[in-house]
Amino acid sequence: MAELLTQDLCVTADAALLVRDANLRLVPGELVALLGPNGAGKTSLLRAALGLEKRSAGLATLDGMDSEKLSPMQRARRVAYLPQQRPLAWPNTVRDVVALGRFAYGAAPGKLSLKDAEAVDTAIERCGLTDLGNRNTDTLSGGELARVHCARAFAAEAPLLVADEPVAALDPRHQFSTMDIVRQFVEGGGGALVVLHDITLAARYATRIVWMKQSRIVADGPPEQTLTPERLADIYGVRARVDGRTIEIEGTL
């Protein structure tokens, strides 16, 4: 079974500890929301877990293999990564950008096998981009472009998805539809780890929430167990009411 695992993972930069002793596991069937304030260390944790950033201590493995030692292609077949910063080197059509997701299988845009082309079409359709397939990406709105990047990640057909703020630029409807797509992916046998800043969205969709504060994971469990007014006060410094998976933020503390 696909598995992303960190054990006592630490990340240091310029003598600052960005991630401290992080223990995290992602397997298929789970939609894990990683929550925490700006600067808590979420991106650093994801990048080190995937072997994209050097760890200073601990372990990070993908399917039991040291994630730092995987080649980009080996990694891409195991996990699709949607980074927070999503630069596009040059304007290209939506379809060609989504096709970059097939890199894991050696495909290049313009040279797709039948299987590659099918995966690209499915990802485009899933993300509601069918009418935009031939548009140049520099003509898209921020929200449309965000969906193109989601489609690119899905085109890889990796068993795991790690997405850093995938809904940041999206309007409410597209936030929900993107999270619906992630949920479908999980229900179809995938596993997803998603950084979110919207607690209500996390409460609605996550099977588990991992809470981070000041470089540490401070709680990890289903919303029913870990989402409490006390937690929101501790992590975000806000006063909130919690009723099951419904949250009302009343103000700051």
Ligand X SMILES: Nc1ncnc2c1ncn2[C@@H]1O[C@H](COP(=O)(O)OP(=O)(O)OP(=O)(O)O)[C@@H](O)[C@H]1O
Is residue 201 involved in binding ligand X (CB under 6 A)? no
36 or 190: CB nearest ligand X: 36
How many residues bind to ligand X according to rule CB under 6 A?
A: 13
Looking at 8-16, 103-111, 136-144, 223-231, which segment touches ligand X (CB under 6 A)? 8-16
Options 7, 29, 39, 172; binder of ligand X; rule CB under 6 A? 39
Complete DSSP assignment for 87-154: --SS--BHHHHHHGGGGGGT-BTTB--HHHHHHHHHHHHHTT-GGGTTSBGGGS-HHHHHHHHHHHHH
41 or 190: CB nearest ligand X: 41
Beta strands across the sheet bearing 65-66: 16-26, 4-13, 57-62, 65-66
The token pair that represents 16 in the structure block? 């600052």
Contact between 221 and 207 under an 8 Å Cβ cutoff? The reply is: no
Is residue 237 involved in binding ligand X (CB under 6 A)? no
Return all residues near 179 (Cβ < 8 A) that are at least 6 apart.
Answer: 167, 201, 204, 205
* Shortest reach from residue 36's CB to ligand X, in Å: 6
Q: How many residues does the chain have?
A: 253
Is residue 175 involved in binding ligand X (CB under 6 A)? no
Is residue 41 involved in binding ligand X (CB under 6 A)? yes
State the binding string over 81-110 for ligand X (x if CB under 6 A, else -). Answer: ---x--------------------------
- Binding-site ranges for ligand X (CB under 6 A): 13-14, 16, 18, 36, 38-44, 84
